[in-house]
Amino acid sequence: MKKILAFMLAVVMVLSLAACGGGSSQATAPTEKPTEAPKAEEPAAPEEPGTEGSAEEAPPEEEPAWEPTEDVTLIIAYSPGGGSDLLARTFVNEGADNFATTLIPTNIPGGSCALGYTELINAEPDGLTIGNTNTSAVVNGLSEGAPYVYYKELQPLCQIGSAPYVVYVPSSSDIMDLDDLKEAILSRDVISAAAGRGSNTHWEMEYFALKAGGDVTSVIYDGGAPCVAALLGGHADVTVQTPADGAEYVRSGDLRAIAVLYDERLQTEEFKDVPTSVEQGYDWLVNYTFHGYAAPKGVSEDVITYYENAFKACLDTDVVREAIENYGFTVAFEDSEGFGEIWNNYADYITDVKTQLGDRLDE
């Protein structure tokens, strides 16, 4: 009997353990409602930059402004020693500290500035090649036979100043003023040395002769320095150049300045006593040259900004400003946009003058 009871107790224990689910893989329906899973929180709106507790990452650092890491080629479309060359070398030398790398002056004269401007136009627009430009970028580019309309194919960077043109004769000449020059043109063959066909230094004497009712023989040279040399050597009677081109020889007594083509006198020692064309009754004979810098078209805005800032910094340096003023130039900075407007306005003016001259510049 005890054995039977023990056996039955063992069976009951086995069945009880099975009822606890130890061996079944089938899920049984829950007898209680399960606790709901917590709802996901809505993402918080990003806080305004600079607000307290912002988890926003710090903005990436701005890239440094562009500046050259190699030497820069500075193309000068004239022979060494002329006004454009002297002005350019002022920035190369006295203004050097305002540039990130060295400016390498590179004279490429020839073809009435065609060689130099063509080299500049076709350079890579990477900021490593720039060139100095004056009124020839407009005037010469509008001349018959020019390979490009230069000012339309270049990117203006900035203007640094301007100056009126000056009429020079050898000190031994009997021409003392513009009236004497007019009389000489009407009575004999006057040879005029011009820096480039169609340039200001060419058309101004042709225009003067046209208004006087006569003619001049124009001999074309590549820049102001060779024109001055022609006067000094007795190969020409007159030339129209910038104050910088002739100042040294006015000081030495080898050249005489007979007129400043402007309505105000220059104040430098060499020219302060030289009467203007307006004073002499020739108010229609007023002209000036600007001096500035340009790059190949396609340079970035960062490149333009770098050169605007660098040249402007030069002009804020006393030694640079004084050198420019000693060359007879008035410091007058214009940024890229302003310089481009000057180009366009000058083109309108020159187009009108050349229409009046007809084919005189092509002879």
Please tell me the pTM assigned to this model: 0.77
d(CA 67, CA 305): 10
Q: What pLDDT is attached to residue 185?
A: 98
Q: What pLDDT is attached to residue 361?
A: 85
Say whether 166-286 and 72-163+288-357 share the same fold. Answer: yes
Instruction: Please provide the CATH number assigned to the domain covering 72-163+288-357.
Output: 3.40.190.150
Indicate the fold that domain 166-286 takes in CATH: D-Maltodextrin-Binding Protein; domain 2 (3.40.190)
User: Where in the chain are the domains?
Assistant: 72-163+288-357, 166-286
Q: What pLDDT is attached to residue 61?
A: 67
Q: What pLDDT is attached to residue 50?
A: 42
Residue-wise pLDDT tens digits, 72-91: 999 999 999 989 999 999 99
Q: What pLDDT is attached to residue 60?
A: 66
Q: What is the pLDDT along the chain (363 residues), one digit of tens a residue?
A: 444 434 444 433 433 434 444 443 333 333 333 344 444 444 444 444 444 444 556 666 667 899 999 999 999 999 999 899 999 999 999 999 999 999 999 999 999 899 999 999 999 999 999 999 999 999 999 988 899 999 999 999 999 999 999 999 999 999 999 999 999 999 999 999 999 888 999 999 999 999 999 999 999 998 899 999 999 999 999 999 999 999 999 999 999 999 999 999 999 999 999 999 999 999 999 999 999 999 999 999 999 999 999 999 999 999 999 999 999 999 999 999 999 999 999 999 999 998 999 888 876
